[in-house]
Amino acid sequence: MTERDVALTVAGSDSGGGAGIQADLKTIEAHGVFGTSALTSVTAQNTCGVEAIEDIPTETIAAQISAVTDDFAVSAAKTGMLSSAAIIETVADSLAEHEFPLVVDPVMVAQSGDRLLAAEAETVLKEQLLPQATLVTPNLPEAAVLTGMEIEDEEDMRAAATEIAADGPDAVLVTGGHLHEDELVDVLATDGETHTFRKARRDTDDTHGSGCTISASIAAELAGGATMPAAVEHAERFIDRAVRYGLAVGSGDGPVNHLAGLYDDAARADALDDVRALVETLERSGIDALVPEIGLNVAVAMPYAMDADDVAAVDGRLHRTADGVAAAGCPRLGVSDHVAQSLLAAREHDHSVVAAATVRLDDTVAEAVTDQFDAVEVERTRSDGDTTDESGSESAAWAIERAMGNRETVPDAVFDRGAVGEEAICRLFAASLAVLEERLLALDDVI
Whether residue 350 sits in one domain with residue 290: yes
Give the model's pLDDT for residue 422: 79
Sequence-distant (6+) residues with CB within 8 A of 308 are: 334, 336, 337, 340, 341, 344
Residues 180 and 36 in one domain: yes
Q: Which tens digits make up the pLDDT trace of 206-250?
A: 989 999 999 999 999 999 999 999 999 999 999 999 999 999 999
* Whether 240 and 283 share a structural domain: no
Q: Are residues 376 and 412 in the same domain?
A: yes
Q: What is the CATH number of the domain that holds 151?
A: 3.40.1190.20
Q: Tell me: the pLDDT tens digits for 82-94?
A: 999 999 999 999 9
Query: For 41-78, b where at least 16 C-beta lie within 10 A, e where not — what string?
Result: bbbebbbeeeeeeebbebeebbebbeebbeeeebbbbb
pLDDT at site 1: 58
Query: Which of the listed residues 209, 237, 258 is the one where a domain comes to its end?
Result: 258
Please state, in angstroms and rounded to a whole number, the distance separating the CA atoms of residues 439 and 22.
44
Q: State how beta strands 102-104 and 135-136 pair.
A: parallel
Provide the mean pLDDT of the chain.
91
- The pLDDT assigned to 113 comes to 62
Percent of the chain clearing pLDDT 70 (strictly above)? 95
Task: Please give the pLDDT value at position 203.
Answer: 84
Other CB atoms within a 10 A radius of the CB of residue 186 amount to: 24
Specify whether the CB–CB gap between 250 and 209 falls below 8 A: no
Q: What percent of the chain has pLDDT over 90?
A: 78
- Note the pLDDT of residue 53: 92
Q: Are residues 182 and 281 in the same domain?
A: no
Whether 98 maps to a domain, the answer reads: yes
The answer to whether residues 203 and 303 belong to one domain is no
Q: In this structure, are residues 341 and 308 in contact, taking their beta carbons and an 8 Å threshold?
A: yes
Cα–Cα distance for residue pair 345/400, rounded to 1 Å: 6
197 and 86 in a common domain:
yes
Which of 208, 238, 258 delimits the end of a domain? 258
Domain with 313, as residue range(s), is 266-445
183 and 85 in a single domain? The answer is yes
Averaged pLDDT, 367-373: 95
Whether 211 is covered by a domain: the verdict is: yes
Q: What does pTM read for this prediction?
A: 0.89
Tell me whether residue 1 is in a domain: no
Looking at per-residue pLDDT, the higher value among 169 and 396 belongs to: 169
Instruction: For residues 26 and 17, give the distance between their C-alpha atoms in angstroms, rounded to a whole number.
Output: 9
Residues contacting residue 152 through CB under 8 Å, at least 6 positions apart: 179
Same domain, 247 and 283: no
Instruction: Place 385 in a pLDDT band, splitting at 50, 70 and 90.
Output: very low
Whether 388 is in a domain gets the answer yes
Of 222, 237, 258, the last residue of a domain is 258
396-438 per-position pLDDT tens digit:
788 999 999 889 999 999 999 887 777 889 999 999 999 999 9
Residues 99 and 42 in one domain: yes
pLDDT over 60 at 303, yes or no? yes
Residues 273 and 202 in one domain: no
The one-letter code for the residue type at 146 is: L
Q: What local confidence, expressed as pLDDT, does residue 110 receive?
A: 65
pLDDT of res. 111 = 61
Closest C-alpha to 244, from 234, 257, 262, 231: 257
The confidence score (pLDDT) of residue 234 equals: 97
Distance CA 170, CA 191 (A): 7
CATH of the domain at 371: 3.40.225.10
Whether residue 318 is found in the same domain as residue 437: yes
Residue 386's pLDDT is: 42
Given this model, what pLDDT does residue 71 score?
Answer: 97
Q: What's the number of domains the chain is made of?
A: 2
Q: Is residue 426 part of a domain?
A: yes
pLDDT band at 380 (very low <50, low <70, confident <90, very high): confident
pLDDT at 315 over 80: yes
**Does 232 reside within a domain?**
yes
Mean pLDDT, residues 10-35: 96
